Amino acid sequence: MIRRKHTKTIKVGNVSIGGDNPISVQTMTNTYTEDAESTISQIQEIEKYRCDIVRVTVNTDEAAESLKTIIKNVKIPVIADIHFNHILALKSIKAGIAGLRINPGNIGDKIKVKEVIKACKDNEIPIRIGVNSGSIEKGMLDKYNGDFSQAMLESALNHINILEKESFYDIKISLKSTDVLTTVKAYELLSDKVEYPLHVGITEAGTVFSGAIKSGIGIGILLYKGIGDTIRVSLSDNPVTEVIAGFHILRDLGLRKEGVELISCPTCGRAEIDIVGFAKEAERKTSSMKSNIKVAIMGCVVNGPGESMHADVGIAGGKEKSVLFSKGKIVGKYNNNEVMNALINEIEKITGEKII
């Protein structure tokens, strides 16, 4: 059982972050925000995968202008990601965003910073301070002899200080590096110093395969230490994959008991069915499910019946026909070209959830 470190609760739209609230899963769109139609359609797709919060880039006036339409047409809270430009921040707040990602120390003029903070206060919009190893100030890095964790920490504390001086405490913070151990150290240092909720992730983690492993290790270590209130898996891929990966990390650590755990054998010379194809198909079909369920796809009678019986639903492959198990009991024997449909029907039956 993981004991989470105590943090203050903030609200991003209708999602509470920090305290005892469930750890939320976030992603970021990769469409041009100016293109409202494509952005809405991408957000609606990630909503099907139970994403809690989405962030969009706001880097032009046109992007800020399309926010209103986007927000009106999606269900989950939208955060605007802004660098340097306080006018875009003000326009985004006016458009109805639920959160702002901006580093106050990078806005420049104090008056501009105050204007943004006031607008956030008036509209109850939290600010995420996001320090990344790739954009850390050179002077800060020199000060700590190239220690990115210490440099990111000090940079974040400076940004926090700017907000606190204006009595603004509706804050969450991220300190992301592309390196797992640097990221872990940075968050550990920060977590000892602040009670604000932390958004954790490994930045620019890579492709689905390498990036999900890297994120699983980095985010996993932090969550295991009780650090982290909301997560984003950063992958060079469709945002849907980020959401699926995020939920897998939370599920595997027992932090959110929802979604499908797939048990599938690695196959060997005994396999009687196409395990690789079956496992991929089962995963693809069930990856948006909310129900907490364990599904086993096993290739033969050696370990198949045991694992399938211990799962909620499972298949043990056989020559021509495979056995379908549900809640520890045999449901029936199906031809190998029909057993996948039977498995999906059984999952729908026991969960009451329609598979999309």
Tell me how far apart the alpha carbons of residues 190 and 152 are, in angstroms, rounded to a whole number.
9
How far apart are CB 291 and ligand SF4 at their closest, in Å?
Answer: 25
How far apart are CB 317 and ligand SF4 at their closest, in Å?
Answer: 7
* Nearest alpha carbon to residue 153 among 140, 165, 162: 140
Phi-psi sector, 320: left (phi>0), alpha (psi -120 to 50), beta: left
Annotated binding site for [4Fe-4S] cluster: 265, 268, 300, 307
Nearer Cβ to ligand SF4 (203/264): 264
Phi-psi sector, 145: left (phi>0), alpha (psi -120 to 50), beta: left
Three-state DSSP class for residue 234 = coil
How far apart are CB 275 and ligand SF4 at their closest, in Å?
Answer: 6
Nearer Cβ to ligand SF4 (173/316): 316
Tell me how far apart the alpha carbons of residues 334 and 5 are, in angstroms, rounded to a whole number.
49
How far apart are CB 283 and ligand SF4 at their closest, in Å?
Answer: 16
Annotated binding site: 265, 268, 300, 307
Nearer Cβ to ligand SF4 (23/315): 315
How far apart are CB 212 and ligand SF4 at their closest, in Å?
Answer: 23
How far apart are CB 269 and ligand SF4 at their closest, in Å?
Answer: 7
Residue ranges that bind ligand SF4, judged by CB under 6 A: 265-268, 270-271, 298-300, 302-304
Question: Bridge-partner residues for 334, per DSSP?
Answer: 322
Query: What string of DSSP letters covers 74-108?
Result: -SS-EEEE--S-HHHHHHHHHHT-SEEE--GGGT-
Nearer Cβ to ligand SF4 (106/267): 267
Nearer Cβ to ligand SF4 (206/305): 305
What residue is closest to ligand SF4 based on CB? 299
Dihedral angle computed from the Cα positions of residues 180, 183, 189 and 191, in that order, rounded to the nearest 10 degrees: -100
Label residue 172 exposed, middle or buried (CB < 10 Å: 0-12, 13-18, 19+): buried
Nearer Cβ to ligand SF4 (28/302): 302
CA angle 242, 230, 5 (to 5 degrees): 140
Three-state DSSP class for residue 343 = helix
